[in-house]
Amino acid sequence: MTSNDTIFGKIIRGEIPSKKIYEDVDLLAFDDIHPVADVHFLIIPKKFIATLADVTPEDATLLGKMLLLAPVLAKEQGLTDGFRTAINTGRMGRQDVYHLHIHVFGNRPGSVPLSTMTGA
Ligand code: AMP
């Protein structure tokens, strides 16, 4: 599979709309279309990587950039008192879109904290 086959590939190429909140030469971040909290956005690499299970040591810098961006954008989006990150991986991880992405989501201060994860 190539990124051409995924919805996020289409978003990268501008073929379908998204609510972008950040873009640079390597990364794109945009609001999740089905938010599970007050704020819910996705950080994706422009390079096609299907899942976290497909990364290689050569992706170390890219992965670092993705993680470093998460708290910067979370703060910009109003998540000043914490947030959650998630990377769903593969079938058993309930990954739906096979282009690597970090979910960043949370409720704004003054709202209720997210419920705890059950892990199941
Ligand atoms: P995952 O289950 O980790 O693969 O999550 C994929 C996420 O992509 C889901 O939270 C979807 O709501 C989100 N999503 C799917 N299509 C779009 C889209 N066109 N724009 C923004 N988010 C999307």
pTM beyond 0.85: the answer is yes
Question: Is-contact 98 90, C-beta < 8 A?
Answer: no
Residue 117 has what pLDDT?
80
pLDDT for 35-53, tens place per residue?
999 999 999 999 999 999 9
Domain count, the chain: 1
Please indicate whether residue 97, judged by its CB atom, sits closer than 6 Å to ligand 1. Answer: yes
CA dist., res. 97 & res. 114, Å (int): 23
Neighbouring CB atoms inside 10 A of 111's CB total: 12
Residue 109 vs residues 31, 75, 105: alpha-carbon distances, Å:
19, 11, 13
Please indicate whether residue 95, judged by its CB atom, sits closer than 6 Å to ligand 1. Answer: yes
CATH assignment at residue 100: 3.30.428.10
Could you tell me the residue range of the domain that residue 11 belongs to?
3-118
Mutate to test the pocket of ligand 1, among 33, 91, 98, 100 (most ligand atoms within 8 A of CB): 33
What is the biggest distance separating any 2 CA atoms in the chain, rounded to whole angstroms?
43
